[in-house]
Amino acid sequence: MIDKPQSPVLTDTLLPSSVTPLARPHLTQKYYYLLDNYEDKQFNQPYVESKPVSLAVEAAVAIVINGIHYAVLMASPSQLEYLAIGFLFSEGLIEHSHELLDWEVTHLTDIASFQSFTPASTDDSLLFESLSEHLLDYDTYVVELVLNQRCHQRIQAQRRQLAGRTGCGMCGITGLNQALPDLNLYSQKMVDTQSAKPSLDYLLNIRTQINTTQHTHQLTGAVHAAATMQAEKLYLFEDVGRHNALDKLIGWQLRHKRKVECVVMTSRLSIELVQKSIRIRLPWLVGMSAPTSTAVRVAQRYGLGLAGFLRDDRVTYYSGIQMV
Tens-of-pLDDT digits for all 324 residues of the chain?
444 333 222 333 333 334 468 999 999 999 988 776 666 656 678 889 999 999 999 999 999 999 888 889 999 999 999 999 999 999 888 987 788 999 999 998 877 777 777 655 545 556 556 556 667 778 889 999 999 888 888 777 766 554 444 344 444 445 666 677 788 888 876 454 444 799 999 999 999 999 999 999 999 999 999 999 999 999 999 999 999 999 999 999 999 999 999 999 999 999 999 999 999 999 999 999 999 999 999 999 999 999 999 999 999 999 977 654
Q: Which amino acid is at 238?
A: E
Whether 131 contacts 39, CB under 8 Å: no
Catalytic residue among 151, 168, 171, 262: 168
Strand ranges, E, within the chain: 23-32, 47-56, 59-65, 68-75, 100-108, 140-147, 224-230, 233-239, 262-265, 284-287, 305-308, 316-317
Name the nearest CA neighbour of 60 among 139, 178, 135, 130: 139
Torsion over CA: 191, 95, 272, 301 (sign): negative
pLDDT of residue 186: 84
Radius of gyration of the chain (CA): 22
pLDDT of residue 297: 95
pLDDT of residue 235: 98
pLDDT of residue 152: 81
Neighbours of 201 (CB within 10 A): 8
pLDDT of residue 260: 96
pLDDT of residue 13: 34
Q: What's the pTM?
A: 0.84
Please confirm, yes or no, whether 168 is among the known catalytic residues.
yes
Contacts 24+ apart (CB under 8 A), 64-71: 64/117, 64/142, 64/143, 64/144, 64/145, 65/93, 65/145, 65/147, 65/151, 65/152, 65/155, 66/145, 66/146, 66/147, 66/151, 66/152, 66/155, 68/155, 68/156, 68/159, 69/119, 70/155
Neighbours of 286 (CB within 10 A): 25
Torsion over CA: 243, 244, 249, 255 (sign): positive
pLDDT of residue 323: 55
Write down how long the chain is: 324
For 172-208, what is each residue's pLDDT tens digit?
Answer: 445 666 677 788 888 876 454 444 799 999 999 999 9
**Using CA atoms, how far apart are residues 250 and 235, in angstroms rounded to an integer?**
11
Cα 36 from chain centroid?
42
pLDDT of residue 42: 63
